[in-house]
Amino acid sequence: MKSRRSRTRCAVLAAVGVLAVGALAMPPSNAAATAATAEASTENPWKDAALLPTVQVVAPFDHAITVRQAVDLAASRQQSIVGVRVQNAASMAAYIIQPDFTSEQFDAWFLREFGTAPQAVGWIVEKERAVKTDGSPEVVPDEPVVTTGLATFSAATALAPSQAATFAARSEKLATDGPSLKPLAAAPNSWKPSLVEVDIEEDPANRSMQFRQYALWSGGSTPVATPVGWGMEFGVDLYNNATGTRTPFGGCPGDFRKQFIAANRDYSWAVTFGSTNLSVSTETYADYNDLFDSCGRNSITVGLRHPERIPAFKTGLYSVLVSIRAPRGATASSKVGGDVQLVDAATCLHGDREQPGASERG
């Protein structure tokens, strides 16, 4: 197995600034209090595609197995398998394979977050990118279903104490208290959440940082109002005083991504909506895109290509919990900011994102 990462740029329609709980906060430069209008551009949105040689796709299994089994099977394959896709009744996740975060450690992390074991439903496979003459990426065909030859694994109903249980209880309470919440967007029928909170904690034993971002829509705001053709990303941004810009040809010191409390590479993630109604795909992905970002900013982000498909937790109330486990960086502290933003589903999500496999949901 081998691991590489590709990057591209994407257009941002609008963003809501978020400050992290219990951390020194610095608002992101693209935060906006109100929605902005996307400007038309004659620039070829794919002009950087030739610089991005790989694409990640999901190779679905014929049925769910354990994450450890998925990793063991991957070791005998010639494909460039970089991770394992997870799908449970009320959550979806991705385990990124790396030597200092084993599948057993991922299982323990998932148990803490969701109170049950993860069900592996496919591999995350890295493939060579094909580019058309106009610079746009070729459509990547679906990976064939993988016959595992193993017994089906079915995780127990989530009964153990977990972050997701706390999240569900909080959403339940806010379903009653919701009318008192005023949306950040201060307008009905807005895509912007009414409430966004970020929690950060260190896990010294596993040399990692834990980020949780909780978003709630109430009082007239709803993800269903997301403009057609736009995805939504939930990001935590770490800052230092470095200057310069990340380019395909350098521009930052060799270890610049480690000069924060966490590195924005090879992070595992999980998402839940507080609902088991995951029959319609939101196409959840990790955004490793940092090309042309400042050397002084590490963005750690998970996105939804179809936020308008987020299932309602209660009538008129929607919520999202994003959990991220990122490798520990080299510094003791970082300035922290974040945002919830809309991104162009064509230029940002096409080609270098995990493509949903035949059995993938979420």
Predicted confidence (pLDDT) per residue in 135-185, tens digit = 666 777 788 999 999 999 999 876 666 777 777 777 667 656 654 555 454
| Antiparallel, parallel or unpaired: β 195-203 and 20-21 | parallel
Q: What average pLDDT does the segment 96-115 reach?
A: 91
**How many structural domains comprise the chain?**
1
- Is the confidence at residue 302, as pLDDT, over 80? yes
Is residue 290 situated within a structural domain? yes
- Is the confidence at residue 83, as pLDDT, over 80? yes
Place of tokens 């998932």: 110
Is residue 106 situated within a structural domain? yes
How far is residue 194's CA from residue 190's CA, in Å, rounded to a whole number?
9
Provide the edge-to-edge strand list for the sheet that holds 335-344: 12-18, 335-344, 230-239, 297-304, 284-287
User: Per-residue pLDDT tens for 230-279?
Assistant: 999 999 999 998 888 877 666 787 788 888 999 888 899 999 887 666 65
User: Per-residue pLDDT tens for 132-142?
Assistant: 777 666 777 78
How far is residue 230's CA from residue 250's CA, in Å, rounded to a whole number?
30
Could you give the dihedral angle defined by the CA atoms of residues 4, 110, 262 and 318, in that order, rounded to the nearest 10 degrees?
100
Cα–Cα distances in angstroms (integers) from residue 34 to residues 117, 187, 235, 312, 351, in the given order: 40, 10, 18, 24, 30
Is residue 359 situated within a structural domain? no
Q: What is the pLDDT of residue 6?
A: 31
Q: What is the pLDDT of residue 190?
A: 86
Considering just the CA atoms, what is the radius of gyration of the chain in Å? 19
Comparison of pLDDT for 277 and 102, the residue scoring more: 102
In 3D, which of 43, 8, 4 has the Cα closest to residue 350? 8
Domain span at 228? 12-344
- In Å, the largest CA–CA distance within the chain is 56
Is residue 86 situated within a structural domain? yes
In 3D, which of 172, 166, 178 has the Cα closest to residue 212? 166
Q: What is the pLDDT of residue 50?
A: 43
Q: At what angle are helices 103-114 and 163-177 packed, to 10 degrees?
A: 30
Q: What is the mean pLDDT of the chain?
A: 76
User: Per-residue pLDDT tens for 316-347?
Assistant: 688 899 999 999 999 899 999 888 999 887 76
Q: Is 355 exposed, middle or buried (0-12, 13-18, 19+ CB in 10 A)?
A: buried
Comparison of pLDDT for 11 and 53, the residue scoring more: 53
Q: Are 326 and 99 in contact (CB under 8 A)?
A: no
Is residue 351 situated within a structural domain? no
Is residue 1 situated within a structural domain? no
Strands (E), the chain: 12-18, 20-21, 54-65, 80-87, 91-96, 120-128, 195-203, 208-217, 230-239, 268-272, 284-287, 297-304, 318-327, 335-344
- At 64, is the pLDDT very low, low, confident or very high (cuts 50, 70, 90)? very high
pTM for the model: 0.79
Is residue 25 situated within a structural domain? yes
Comparison of pLDDT for 118 and 35, the residue scoring more: 118
